[in-house]
Structure 1
Amino acid sequence: MRAFVLLSLNLSLLTGCASMLPSSRSEDVVRWHSYEELVQAFNAIQPQQTDEAGLRQMGLHPDVTANITHIGYAEFRSRYAPDGVQDEAGLDAGLRTCLQARQQCHGYKVDVMRESRQRVGNFLLDFLAFKKVTDVKGWRFMGWIAVVNGKVVFREYGGTPSVSRQEESHNPLGPLQGIGESMRYR
């Protein structure tokens, strides 16, 4: 009877151990909590109407929101009209305005992501470093805004509305896997 109780206790501990696996989150601290919220914010930008003050009110300006990068004409040129492109006629009219304005054109790059990482799988294999499996979920938004003479002339966005992947690492020697490396650097 005592052996049965010990076996039952051990099994219940092992099945509950999966909740003891680590998890983490990585997110940019911004006002938007979803990809869709950022899409709505970008769709509210009206080229030739929205100005820099409007971008500040929307939170789409580096003065009011972190993780928004100020970019210059050269970055727009390299992104949308690299050296091999001779004919700019096929470009968006606002983008052409930016490229023709040269140094009077500047803008903003919005790069926002949210990602959560949850370790899953066998607790003992993970704890002993033999096998680690991590589920990754989240989203990433990237957008570009071009401004000439204080007015938005162009906006574009894209990204990954739903990130879902699984990362797996195997160490056949478990906790002994890194000993050779650590001995080499002494």
Structure 2
Amino acid sequence: MRTPVFLATGLLAGCVSLLPTSRQDVNNPWNDFDEAKKSFDQIVPYTTDMDTVRQLGFDPYKTPNMQILNHSQVVRAVLPSPLQERATIPSGILDCMKAQEGCVGYFMEPSRIDRNRVGNFALDFLNFKRDTLTTGWKFGALIVIIDNRVVYKQWSGRPRIEETELRRNPLGPLQGIGESLKPLP
């Protein structure tokens, strides 16, 4: 009776395709970091209008997951605390501070993140060893608008994400049993 169990386990040990995968895709019009950055680079403060910003993919009402910031949120996002000397504050942010309610910011972080479990299926399935590879990219954009015109922009990001997480459980499937036996409060 043990032979079929060992045979099945041996066959499954090489089946990496049976390991779980996941994808986190913040819906956006760009396929990679470079595309997002290229669109962002076409925005020119004090020149680009809101129609052009929308055409480039930064439309808060059509592009999912964009955050709309009021003028005080924009200032907090850009300026360090305590406030620096007025001469060092970017002109677009000074104008935003003067415009008050007439200033709005758009913030978004488009990304594509893939998580794939790699390694030995049997060790993963039995919870002895789980090896997860995370890859992808993330782009952050802040665009500040006054009277339908961009006055400030700022970007950040991670063009290439590659992380490995290795979790070992010497007791395998019994590893978390002690926690599950604790009485509820």
Tell me the CA shift for residue 81 of structure 1.
2.3
Partner of 2:77: 79
1:120 counterpart letter in structure 2: V
Partner of 1:172: 170
Given that 1:76 and 1:99 are in contact with CA atoms closer than 8 Å, whether structure 2 keeps it comes out as no
2-structure distance, mates of 1:64, 1:46:
21
Partner of 1:3: none
2-structure distance, mates of 1:141, 1:98:
24
Q: Secondary structure at the match of 2:39?
A: helix
CA deviation profile, 1:4-51 (whole Å, cap 9, x unmatched) = xx9xx7797255322221111111111111001110111111211222
- Which residue among 19, 39, 43 is the counterpart of 1:21? 19
Q: Mark the runs of 5 or more structure 1 residues left unpaired by the alignment.
A: 1-5
Tell me the CA shift for residue 120 of structure 1.
1.0
Partner of 2:43: 45
1-structure distance, mates of 2:59, 2:105:
9
Partner of 1:96: 94
Within a 5 Å distance, the mapping from 1:7-18 to structure 2 comes to 13-14=11-12, 16-18=14-16
Report the TM-score when normalising by structure 2. 0.87
CA deviation profile, 1:74-127 (whole Å, cap 9, x unmatched) = 112212224412413113222222223222211100111111111111221101
Tell me the CA shift for residue 132 of structure 1.
0.3
Partner of 2:141: 143
Q: Mark the runs of 5 or more structure 2 residues left unpaired by the alignment.
A: none
Percent identity, aligned pairs only? Answer: 37
User: Structure 1 residues 142 and 185, CA, compared in 2 at 3 Å: closer, same or farther?
Assistant: farther
1-structure distance, mates of 2:129, 2:162:
20
Q: Secondary structure at the match of 1:184?
A: coil
